[in-house]
Amino acid sequence: MTDFHHELFNARFPKFKNSIFDESKWYWKMGKCKTVLQTLFTFFIKHGILFENFLLDSKELSFSRDVFLPAFLQIEEETGLKPLIVALEPTEIEEDIFWMCYPLNIKKSLAKINK
């Protein structure tokens, strides 16, 4: 799936072909998800803003409660600062079907990678 999306991105945006950075090895080295989030959150104290939604619905509640919140609070406790996190989009659209679809203008790019 990762290779497919990289190929799709490269077909759609060829001038950015060398801009993909694979962070997978770094994440695997970090180990537990909570540890990864703690390290990641340190970047968002003053070097950037994380645009993401952490939901409290039945599907994501355990992740938000057991992984996100402890990591967030740990970084806040260690630094005295909260990571800068802004909602990516309104949470009420999270389950809309369009999240499972590609835009129509991507068909030509899909055709390029299927050859």
Q: How many of the other CB atoms lie within 10 Å of CB of 71? A: 21
Residue 113 has pLDDT above 80, yes or no: no
- Whole domain around residue 70: which residue ranges? 2-113
Taking the C-alpha atoms of residue 29 and residue 102, their distance in angstroms, rounded to an integer, is 32
pLDDT score for 17:
81
Averaged pLDDT score across all residues of the chain? 81
CB atoms within 10 A of CB 105: 8
pLDDT of residue 21: 75
pLDDT above 70: residue 36: yes
**pLDDT attached to residue 54:** 82
| Least-confidence region, from 7-11, 62-66, 99-103 | 99-103
Above 80 in pLDDT, residue 87?
yes
What is residue 73's predicted lDDT score, i.e. its pLDDT? 94
Element holding 24 (H helix, E strand): helix 24-30
Q: Could you tell me the pLDDT band of residue 100, with boundaries at 50, 70 and 90? A: low
Total domains in the chain come to 1
